[in-house]
């Protein structure tokens, strides 16, 4: 018997009747888009809990606050470093998109066992010049603001707007000058044991990968460590791997021997 049975009751915003939602398309050909990604490089970047604690403290110190979270500071770091690696013109607009859960922000809250997704992709936007001329704390504050503003009323406003003009999301809607951060270091990736022992790594497949897509995972050793799976065009990845701001924070990966229990740290 399941200890936490899934809740299949659908949440649906009031005032629009019941599903199904009628999409304004006469044929699937009008909204089905086949995406062929360009050649990409993927790399896992590991961040220890100690390194992230220092990054969070730096972001809060630079913006003069104590409200910046670890993941907001890390998102700001990746936004700055990837934007620098891309060498866009100074006046080019660039965005950091964060996939954020709605469950705990809705009032009343959705059950933690709600079977399905309820999320939005929030967007912080500025120019390349402003992002790189200001410090990490400034960028982290932008990320913090969009998260703080994502309240119950804001979520309902977004859903109302969607219901007034429904559409099907497509990868092509994401700006090529932005980054998109999904996943979460809070997801329980390593305690799911199928009888083979603790997993050695968490990875995703090839679907929905594009330049600027980042997925977050908990680090294998736990304790607040984080792994980021980053997808970039090869030339951008090569530049990112040399970025001094990133190299000052990123940590060596956990050794295979430690994972297998055959060597000490």
The pLDDT, as a whole number, for residue 130 is: 98
pLDDT greater than 70 at residue 195 = yes
Residue 175's domain spans which residues? Answer: 46-194+218-224+233-253
Q: Is residue 146 part of a domain?
A: yes
The pLDDT, as a whole number, for residue 145 is: 97
Half-sphere exposure of residue 111, counting CA atoms within 13 Å on the CB side?
Answer: 12
Q: Is residue 127 part of a domain?
A: yes
Q: Is residue 38 part of a domain?
A: no
Q: Is residue 68 part of a domain?
A: yes
DSSP 187-212: S--SS--SSS-S-S-----STT--TT
pLDDT greater than 60 at residue 264 = no
Q: What is the CATH number of the domain that holds 124?
A: 3.30.559.10
What is the distance between the alpha carbons of residues 265 and 261, in angstroms, rounded to a whole number? 10
With bands split at pLDDT 50, 70 and 90, how would you rate the model's confidence at 265? low
Q: Is residue 264 part of a domain?
A: no
Half-sphere exposure of residue 236, counting CA atoms within 13 Å on the CB side?
Answer: 27
Quick: pLDDT tens for 74-115: 999 999 999 999 999 999 999 999 999 999 999 999 998 998
193 has catalytic annotation = yes
Give the pair of three-digit tokens for residue 58.
Answer: 């730096």
The pLDDT, as a whole number, for residue 116 is: 84
- Starting from the edge strand earliest in sequence, which strands make up the sheet with 179-183, in order? 41-47, 226-232, 213-218, 179-183, 93-101, 119-127
Q: What total number of domains does the chain contain?
A: 1
Quick: pLDDT tens for 65-84: 999 999 999 999 999 999 99
Q: Is residue 15 part of a domain?
A: no
Q: Is residue 168 part of a domain?
A: yes
Give the pair of three-digit tokens for residue 108.
Answer: 């009343």
Catalytic residue, chosen from 133, 175, 193, 243, is: 193
């Amino acid at each position: 018997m399941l200890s936490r049975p899934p809740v299949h009751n659908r949440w649906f915003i009031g005032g629009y009747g019941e599903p199904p939602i009628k999409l304004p398309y006469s044929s699937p050909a009008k909204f089905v888009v086949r995406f062929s990604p360009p050649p990409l490089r993927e790399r896992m970047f590991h961040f220890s809990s100690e390194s992230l604690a220092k990054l969070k403290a730096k972001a809060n110190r630079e913006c003069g606050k104590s409200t910046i979270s670890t993941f907001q500071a890390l998102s700001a770091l990746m936004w700055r470093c990837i934007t620098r690696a891309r060498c866009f013109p100074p006046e080019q607009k660039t965005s950091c998109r964060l996939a954020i859960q709605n469950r705990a922000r809705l009032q009343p809250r959705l059950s933690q066992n709600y079977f399905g997704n309820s999320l939005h992709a929030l967007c912080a936007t500025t120019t390349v010049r402003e992002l790189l001329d200001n410090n990490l704390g400034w960028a982290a504050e932008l990320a913090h603001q969009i998260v703080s503003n994502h309240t119950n009323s804001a979520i309902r406003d977004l859903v109302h707007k969607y219901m007034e003009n429904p559409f099907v999301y497509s990868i092509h809607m994401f700006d090529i000058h932005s980054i998109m951060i999904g996943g979460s270091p809070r997801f329980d990736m390593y305690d799911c044991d199928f009888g083979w022992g603790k997993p050695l790594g968490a990875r995703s497949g090839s679907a929905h990968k594009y330049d600027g897509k980042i997925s977050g995972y908990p680090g294998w050793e736990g304790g607040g460590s984080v792994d980021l799976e980053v997808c970039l065009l090869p030339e951008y990845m090569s530049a990112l791997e040399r970025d001094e701001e990133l190299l000052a924070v990123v940590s060596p990966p956990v050794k295979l021997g430690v994972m297998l229990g055959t060597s000490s740290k």
